[in-house]
Amino acid sequence: MSVAVQRATGKGSRQRDPRPGLMERVKRSYARHWYAYAMIAPVVLVLGVLVLYPLAEGLWLTLTDANSLNVARKIGANEIPAGYRFVGFDNYADILWGPGSYDRFWSHFVWTIAWTALCVGLHYTIGLGLALLLNQKLRGRAVYRMLLILPWAVPTFVTVFSWRLMLADGGAVNGLLAALHLPEPGWLDDPTAQKAAAVMVNTWVGVPFMMISLLGGLQSIPAELYEAAEMDGATAWQRFRHVTLPGLRTVSSTVVLLGIIWTFNQFAVIFLLFGNGAPDAQLLVTWAYRLGFGQQPRDYAQSAAYGVILLSILVVFTAFYRRWLARNERANG
């Protein structure tokens, strides 16, 4: 009899209750976590108004031929209705492989990629060097930290306008080059010099953030690891390679990703330094602004399409970057 009971019990244990429906699961979740939902509701509302709605509106504009001549507008007492029409993916096709697509998109795309790689590389290299220096026991180290973080603390428009004055003809930069008997480039006029000036200014703006982030990472590495490596006879380069860099892996991966996203979408430096001029130095983001607000008629549809393309590039890059990091972590673990 006991065997029969055990078999019956075992048979019953294998039978599962039917899974509740979606609405029932939502009700149970709300009853259990209603306080958390109440706390995040304002944030969700703000994000919906400030992010999701403009994004949806922008996506819709990319599928039309909207510009400043055919959108709904009011002239005096007359209200003119919208006259733009649905065109599907024509804007994307025109941008990527339409007539003049190289001058309108691909040349700016190549420069944006080069700009991002060069600036982030300089940010990380210089920032790491300064962080290593400030991590040493130096007299007046707090003063040096304060001075080196000033370019990041000062508002960007103040920094860029100051550099614009220094880079102008007869400015401090060319005055110094003249004193050293070196060539004086037209930083704000020559296409090649414009790109060099943009990289220089953005490096000045971006290095302090990288330096402070990496300095925090350096201070979190246990000193015992360096002592053990030194006792094993490791040189300074070997300690840097096998202790410092692995210890900074997590911080480095985060700040490099943030730096790539911010630099790829860097609008303020280019726009404040050159305005609507310097067509060869325009990034994709500033070119999109120029299409939407810096010309007549304003091409809202093409400008919005550039924005969607930019977002898509960053989403794809971030996905591959994080997968690459995860694969490296598994390999090193």
pLDDT, one tens digit per residue, over 234-292 is: 888 888 988 999 889 889 999 999 999 999 999 999 999 998 888 889 999 999 999 99
Burial of 299 from C-beta contacts in 10 A (0-12 / 13-18 / 19+):
buried
Which stretches of 135-235 are DSSP H helices?
Answer: 141-153, 156-167, 172-179, 191-219, 223-231
Q: Which residues pair with 75 in a beta bridge?
A: 78
For the chain, how far is it from start to end, CA to CA, in angstroms?
Answer: 55
Tell me the two tokens of residue 158: 């103040």
Q: How many C-beta atoms lie closer than 10 Å to residue 241's C-beta?
A: 12
pLDDT score at 15: 57
Percent pLDDT > 90 in the chain is: 45
Q: Which residues pair with 73 in a beta bridge?
A: 80
Q: Which residues pair with 80 in a beta bridge?
A: 73
Q: Cβ distance 167 to 197 under 8 Å?
A: yes
pLDDT score at 17: 63
**Strand pairing category for 78-80 and 73-75:** antiparallel
Is pLDDT of 170 > 90? no
pLDDT, one tens digit per residue, over 7-40 is: 444 444 455 667 777 777 777 777 788 888 888 8
pLDDT, one tens digit per residue, over 192-202 is: 999 999 999 99
pLDDT score at 4: 45
Distances in Å between the Cα of 32 and the Cα atoms of 17, 23, 35, 128, 328 are: 21, 14, 8, 47, 39
Which stretches of the chain are DSSP H helices?
Answer: 2-13, 22-47, 53-62, 90-97, 101, 107-134, 141-153, 156-167, 172-179, 191-219, 223-231, 236-239, 245-247, 249-264, 268-274, 284-293, 300-332
Residue at token pair 């490791």:
234
Question: Among candidates 301, 280, 283, 284, which has minimal Cα distance to 292?
Answer: 301
Q: Cβ distance 197 to 273 under 8 Å?
A: yes
Percent pLDDT > 70 in the chain is: 95
61 vs 34, which has greater pLDDT? 61
Q: What's the average model confidence in pLDDT over 223-243?
A: 88
Least confident stretch, 72-86, 170-184, 282-296: 72-86
pLDDT score at 16: 62
pLDDT, one tens digit per residue, over 93-151 is: 999 998 989 989 999 999 999 999 999 999 999 999 999 988 888 777 778 778 888 88
Question: Among candidates 103, 96, 107, which has minimal Cα distance to 309?
Answer: 96
| pLDDT, the chain, mean | 87
Q: What is the dihedral of CA 240, 221, 206, 159, to 10 degrees?
A: -120
Q: Which long-range contacts (CB under 8 A, 24 or more apart) does 71-75 make?
A: 71/300
pLDDT score at 118: 96
32 vs 179, which has greater pLDDT? 179
CA–CA distance, 160 with 271 (Å, rounded to integer): 10
